[in-house]
Amino acid sequence: MSATAPAVTGSGGRQGGASRRRLARLAAVQALYQLELNPGLGTEAVIREFVRDRLGREIDGELYGEADAELFADIVRGVRGDRERLDETLSAALSEEWPLDRLERILRLILEAGAYELARRPDIPPRVTMSEYVGIAYAFFTGSEPGLANGVLDHLARTLRGSEL
């Protein structure tokens, strides 16, 4: 895993919808990670903090790009609210050698967010979801993790939404 998590950065100025959704996904993974590290924090409090203080703001010299706040909040709420079912779905897609509890935390969160979109967001094409979350995996990892993410998300997309591929 890389030494530091990437900032939710953008090029500044007005961004297109795809870029805003890409930044929302990355921010959602970061918010989910924050919630994992601080179990006493509430989901809604973290969502409010990200929307109010991070998205579209400058923090420590890093400009955080504008993100689709609605998509961001939906992913965070969805993963937190449906984690048990998402983890069952992911476990079925993983090999016996790589069970869910063996994955690094951030990789599990990336997969949960991707699984949530594939299962609960029919308005987003499955190939877009797969591509976006594999890209996020590359932002955090330099080893085999992005390939694992690609394989798992491809399996889930074919299982959950095969007719769209």
- Distances, alpha carbon 145 to alpha carbons 101, 109, 135, 151, 158, in Å: 14, 12, 11, 10, 20
Question: What's residue 59's pLDDT?
Answer: 64
Per residue of the chain (165 residues), what is the pLDDT tens digit? 443 456 554 444 445 788 899 999 999 999 999 999 998 999 999 999 999 988 877 666 666 678 899 999 999 999 999 999 999 999 999 988 889 999 999 999 999 999 999 999 999 999 999 999 999 999 999 999 999 999 999 999 999 999 999
**pTM reported for the whole predicted model:** 0.88
The answer to whether residues 137 and 149 touch, using CB atoms and an 8 Å cutoff, is: yes
| Torsion sign, CA atoms 137, 141, 146, 152 | negative
Question: What's residue 133's pLDDT?
Answer: 98
**Ordered domains of the chain (ranges, CATH):** 17-164 (1.10.940.10)
The two tokens of residue 45 are 């409090």
